[in-house]
């Protein structure tokens, strides 16, 4: 059972200060968390070194220090009644320090697992009996001896750095042992994981929220399309995935969260492979101990968003089972949308986009657009899937994005 005393909106601490929720990290996920917390009536505090961070600019308090700065962490703990993180690469030791005096969700131990692909895959393997899914065959590479001992049947594969890889960074596709050796050298000879490439037919993700008392709620799985390792489109509606597969993915994500004794919002990403394979159509890829880009559609298409559930979970509030009221497609908006064919900056035609029915534009407050940088997202909702797809296709054309059938 929970040892967490709920922190109710509008309450005050022992010194009479308003209930304040804190977040490590000032990016767009932190910004949307801050909006959700403030809508409920909480004060918010962000610890982030960037003076112009999206979350820091909209929070009641912005502590501008490094994530592991003792003075900054002490100030955050003094201001806040509970603390979360908006990205998985925040130092786990910082979360351990904060947890000595405040509830921290998710905890340092879980975040540390998500920070290291070796630990993450070991966890997926350990809970395979309850999750009923496993990860792709893999090998850990830390030494030249392990490199030479890689089984031939793991190739072709994808070599990934064990730590600090995201959005396609720190990854190299390899077909032969010579390419593998060259890729490991290219990545600096750091600890890596080599994953066998599987015959993928789709990718999907599941968002789960688990409370201090063990209560779990989840969103229906969404189908994701990536370009260059970065999420491009999320399809969130009935029929986006076969129902039996979606049920398996949802059950597996819940099992993984429970196995971790997780608290907060967790995203588990899966590969969908040919049904004739040994994996039964579903392979777990990785997890993110936070809200996720693929869940942004929940702000506009559900009665409770992933950020609402993040606030509820960390504050010890009841977790409502979210309901999706509209089919949705989300288009990720990278800095490329602001660049013309010659690489010069241009203003996207927002008037044409916002004229389309059911469009919900979210820009993250970043002042500089760069190729590959996440600048915002556009969610399209509507009464039925066909109308949502038609509007999403038109929006993609206006913004110069690939067509939905092209990616």
Q: Which helix (H) or strand (E) holds 222?
A: strand 222-227
Is 345 annotated to bind ligand? Answer: no
Whether the bond between 96 and the residue before it is cis, its omega within 30 degrees of 0, is no
Contact 322, 309 (CB under 8 A): yes
In terms of DSSP bridges, do strands 374-381 and 328-334 run parallel, antiparallel, or are they unpaired? Answer: antiparallel
What is the distance between the alpha carbons of residues 319 and 217, in angstroms, rounded to a whole number? 7
Consult the annotation and say whether 222 binds a ligand.
Answer: no
Confirm whether residue 173 is marked as ligand binding. Answer: no
117 labeled part of a ligand binding site: yes
52 labeled part of a ligand binding site: no
Q: Tell me: is residue 197 an annotated ligand-binding position.
A: yes
Known binder of ligand: residue 169? yes
* Nearest partner of 110 among 98, 95, 125, 100, judged by Cα: 95
Rounded distance between C-alpha atoms, residue 187 and residue 183, angstroms: 6
132 is in an annotated binding site: no
Rounded CA gap, 254 and 247, in Å?
11
Q: Is 60 annotated as a binding residue?
A: no
Query: What 3-state DSSP class applies to 238?
Result: coil
Q: How far apart are CA 348 and CA 354, in angstroms?
A: 11
Q: Is 285 annotated as a binding residue?
A: yes
Residue 366 marked in a binding site: no
Q: Confirm whether residue 340 is marked as ligand binding.
A: no
Residue 286 in marked binding region: yes
Does 165 carry a binding-site annotation?
A: yes
203 annotated as a binding-site residue: yes
Q: Does 393 carry a binding-site annotation?
A: no
Show contacts of 1-5: CB within 8 Å, 24+ apart.
Answer: 1/213, 1/214, 2/211, 2/212, 2/213, 2/214, 2/316, 3/212, 4/103, 4/212, 4/213, 4/316, 5/316
Q: Is 62 annotated for ligand binding?
A: no
Residue positions forming the annotated binding site for ATP = 117, 160, 165-171, 195-198, 203, 226, 285-286
Residue positions forming the annotated binding site = 117, 160, 165-171, 195-198, 203, 226, 285-286
């Amino acid at each position: 059972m929970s040892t967490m005393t709920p922190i109710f909106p509008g309450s005050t601490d022992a010194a009479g200060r308003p209930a304040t929720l804190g977040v490590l990290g000032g990016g767009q996920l932190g910004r949307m968390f801050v909006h959700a917390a403030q809508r409920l009536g909480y004060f918010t505090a962000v610890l982030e070194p960037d003076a112009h961070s999206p979350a820091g600019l909209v929070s009641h308090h912005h502590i501008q220090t490094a994530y592991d700065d003792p003075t900054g962490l002490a100030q955050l703990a003094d201001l806040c009644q509970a603390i979360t993180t908006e990205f998985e690469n925040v130092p786990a030791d910082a979360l351990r320090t904060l947890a000595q005096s405040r509830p921290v969700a998710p905890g340092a131990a879980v975040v540390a697992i998500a920070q290291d692909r070796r630990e993450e895959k070991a966890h997926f393997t350990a809970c395979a009996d309850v999750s009923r899914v496993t990860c792709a065959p893999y090998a850990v590479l830390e030494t030249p001896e392990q490199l030479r001992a890689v089984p031939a049947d793991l190739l072709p594969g994808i070599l990934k750095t064990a730590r600090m890889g995201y959005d396609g960074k720190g990854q190299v596709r390899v077909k032969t042992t010579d390419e593998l050796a060259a890729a490991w050298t290219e990545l600096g000879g750091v600890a890596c994981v080599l994953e066998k490439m599987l015959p993928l037919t789709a990718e999907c993700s599941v968002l789960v929220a688990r409370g201090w008392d063990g209560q779990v709620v989840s969103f229906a799985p969404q189908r994701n399309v990536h370009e260059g390792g970065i999420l491009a489109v999320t399809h969130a509606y009935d029929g986006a995935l076969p129902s039996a597969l979606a049920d398996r993915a949802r059950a597996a994500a819940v099992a993984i969260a429970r196995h971790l004794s997780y608290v907060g919002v967790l995203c588990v990403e899966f590969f969908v492979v040919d049904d004739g394979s040994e994996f039964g159509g579903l392979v777990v890829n990785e997890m993110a101990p936070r809200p996720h880009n693929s869940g942004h559609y929940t702000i506009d298409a559900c009665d409770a968003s992933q950020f609402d559930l993040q606030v509820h979970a960390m504050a010890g509030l009841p977790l409502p089972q979210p309901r999706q009221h509209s089919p949705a497609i989300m288009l990720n908006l990278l800095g490329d949308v602001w660049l013309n064919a010659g690489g010069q900056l241009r203003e996207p035609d927002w008037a044409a986009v916002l004229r389309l029915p059911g469009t919900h534009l979210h820009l993250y407050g970043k002042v500089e657009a760069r190729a590959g940088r996440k600048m915002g997202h556009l969610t399209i909702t509507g009464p039925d899937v066909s109308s949502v797809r038609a509007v999403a296709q038109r929006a993609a054309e206006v913004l110069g994005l690939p067509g939905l059938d092209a990616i």
